Amino acid sequence: AESRFRQGYVATFGAVKGDDPLYEAISAGHRYPGMEHWLALFHERLDTLFDYAPGAILSFDPMMDEAVAERFEQIRDHYEARVNGLETTAFGAAPYKPLAPDRLYLNENEWRAAVAGRFRLRLAAFGTDPGADIRQRDFSGRPGRTFATERNTEGVNVFEAVAGHVKSLQAHGKRVVLATWTSGAGERLASVLAEHGLAKPTRIADLGEGLVLSQSTPLLATLGLERGFEANDLAVIAEQDILGDRLVRPKKRSRKAADVITEATSLTAGDLVVHADHGIGRFVGLKTITALGAPYDCLEIDYDGGKFYLPIQNIELLSRYGSDETNAQLDRLGGIAWQTRKAKLRKRLREIAGELIKVAALRQLKTAPVLEAPDGAYTEFVARFPHQETEDQAASIDAVLGDLAQGRPMDRLVCGDVGFGKTEVGLRAAFIAAMAGLQVAVVVPTTLLARQHYKTFVERFKGLPIRIGRAKAGVRDGTIDIVVGTHALLGKQIQFARLGLLIVDEEQHFGVSHKERLKQLKEDIHVLTLTATPIPRTLQLALSGVRELSLITTPPIDRLAVRTYISPFDPVILREALRRERHRGGQSFYVAPRISDLDDVAEFLAEEVPELRIIRAHGQMPPSQLEDVMSAFYDGQYDVLLSTAIVESGLDIPNANTLI
């Protein structure tokens, strides 16, 4: 503060220089009364929130003490890292001179003194000592029963357990309320429980209404409760108690015209653009020109041999150039090169269209088994999905169910980003086909992804009469209903007993020979392709209508927007990011551009975050070793995966939330 004051005074009054003795004194580092007064003010204790709310009641949750201790530890750690000059000594960065913590925060003694003289409301969990202070007393409430054991036990139906528990509670004189996040989920839950012998529940608007109704029938309410509870004469069973964690998305409002951002707003000077009539040009900027005495806002575009001004209202004639190349040859205004290229492309498109029409006509003549969802069993299977379907996901599922029931071979492409719910679409299609007695083959590009899908399918189909495996023999003799594997499933030596549905994940990773084998397989079977990045040919078939296309563009409710920060290398920030991710139970990627960089980064991480478990991966590792590394990271055995760009292979690791 003293240095900044001196610099500010010199900058302000530097013009007088030698004529100002005060300037000379400050420049020499001497103090003066005005500075002392200012510094005294600066060193006074700053106001805190407590100073602005003198009579407020403090409300603390049960984990308050731990949270406060962790916060003070975090402050000390940051300060010590800066004082020790970590970034300066290790990486040659500019010195960082931090303020002492007591200049910015209350210390532990000040914190305790600030809260000591106030009325504090200390919230506590269920089951505290009934003789405790009134502010912590147990009012006969306790957590309700969860059905996690039943959900995870082979051969046990969770809905039968729920129905039996409700009857037991009613026998003990309790009103039972089934609480669901949405009214639709409530109707679905009531329908499933009715199949297991539970009386139809009475719908209520809130708990107050339920307290005056009869105890003879269960009650159904739409309440946003994560967990249920029990009191003297009331028991609330939440939807999540039965089905596990469920996340609810608020309804998406319809898009208005004002929400749509035109492409012109994202253009920057120097971008290559394509005009429908004139070809490739370079966008210069917006310019107002006068024509016939009136001003017009136009986009200025450079072409070979001249400029072109496009009125802003005709922007639909303009599109981005489909390449990042900045030295592309610009078309000549009035030339024939662009028109010649367009004519050749039209001819080629007509040839391709003829081939596509032939393929489409042949597929329309084929027949396939009509597959329809069994009402009760399908509803129960859907209830196991631990999320609420997004609008795009629900539309894709409905489209797939419609394709399976039409009696013709399905050939649908489902596009969506990683984690947007494509696998759930495949799971429901597989359930319908398997319950109809047909075999399902799930083909993925890598053994690691096959292992991940296998675990997902086994978990969702637990307790159902569906056999899932990864063995060739079971495919041939029909003992396996759903087989998950790599391109080995497409080998000619693999024979299916009754294949009815083929699910292909990430088709872009398969080679030409695999694609030819797929063509042989899918003449009269249903085919569902799931991908985040379709190859041009596959996308072309979908966009031309030969293959049906579904898009899942809405992220799930638990998918937060990605926040990206660009900054100089700062070890303190890196330590904080990695430790924060680990403390909340997550994992991190640390990506370096070259394999030769991994040793230095590993040494840095070992010194600065020794408590983290770190494992390496790069493209020069043997495939089996790389698979073991990725499997171990996927299973949560390590906190940080230090790797090159090999992590972009498409493996879905939901627990990894930080990328450096």
Answer yes or no: are the C-beta atoms of 189 and 242 closer than 8 Å.
yes
Amino acid at 109: N
The per-residue pLDDT for 20 is: 55
pLDDT (tens digit per residue) in 305-354? 889 998 888 888 888 886 656 678 899 888 888 989 989 989 988 887 78
Q: How far is CA 42 from CA 5, 12, 108, 110, 345, in A?
A: 11, 21, 22, 19, 73
The per-residue pLDDT for 15 is: 41
Separation of alpha carbons 137 and 616, rounded Å: 51
Separation of alpha carbons 201 and 237, rounded Å: 13
Instruction: Name, of 183-197, 429-443, 445-459, the range with top average pLDDT.
Output: 429-443
- Could you tell me the pLDDT band of residue 503, with boundaries at 50, 70 and 90? very high
Q: Which are the contacts of 633, defined by CB distance < 8 A and separation ≥ 6? A: 587, 615, 617, 641, 653
CA neighbours closer than 13 Å in the CB half-sphere of residue 307: 11
pLDDT of 261 > 80? The answer is no
Answer yes or no: are the C-beta atoms of 476 and 495 closer than 8 Å.
yes
Supply 650's token pair. Answer: 């498409």
Q: What percent of the chain has pLDDT over 90?
A: 16
Terminal-residue alpha carbon distance, the chain? 34
Q: Which three-class secondary structure string do you get for 161-206?
A: HHHHHHHHHHHCCCEEEEEECCHHHHHHHHHHHHCCCCCCCEECCC
Using DSSP bridges, classify how beta strands 279-291 and 272-275 pair: parallel, antiparallel or unpaired.
Answer: antiparallel
How many Cβ atoms from other residues are within 10 Å of residue 117's Cβ?
8
Q: In what order do the strands lie in the sheet with 272-275?
A: 306-311, 294-303, 279-291, 272-275, 318-320
In this structure, of 249-258, 282-291, 625-634, the range with the lowest mean pLDDT score is: 249-258
- The single residue listed with the structure tokens 């037991």 is 168
The per-residue pLDDT for 271 is: 84
The per-residue pLDDT for 185 is: 84
Q: How far is CA 624 from CA 265, 294, 450, 551, 627, in A?
A: 48, 71, 14, 35, 5
Instruction: Name, of 28-37, 181-190, 521-530, the range with top average pLDDT.
Output: 181-190
The per-residue pLDDT for 522 is: 62
Average pLDDT over residues 460-464: 89
Tally of helices (H runs) and strands (E runs) in the chain: 24, 24
DSSP code for 509: G
pLDDT of 583 > 70? The answer is yes
Using DSSP bridges, classify how beta strands 499-505 and 587-591 pair: parallel, antiparallel or unpaired.
Answer: unpaired
The per-residue pLDDT for 90 is: 55
Average pLDDT for the chain = 80
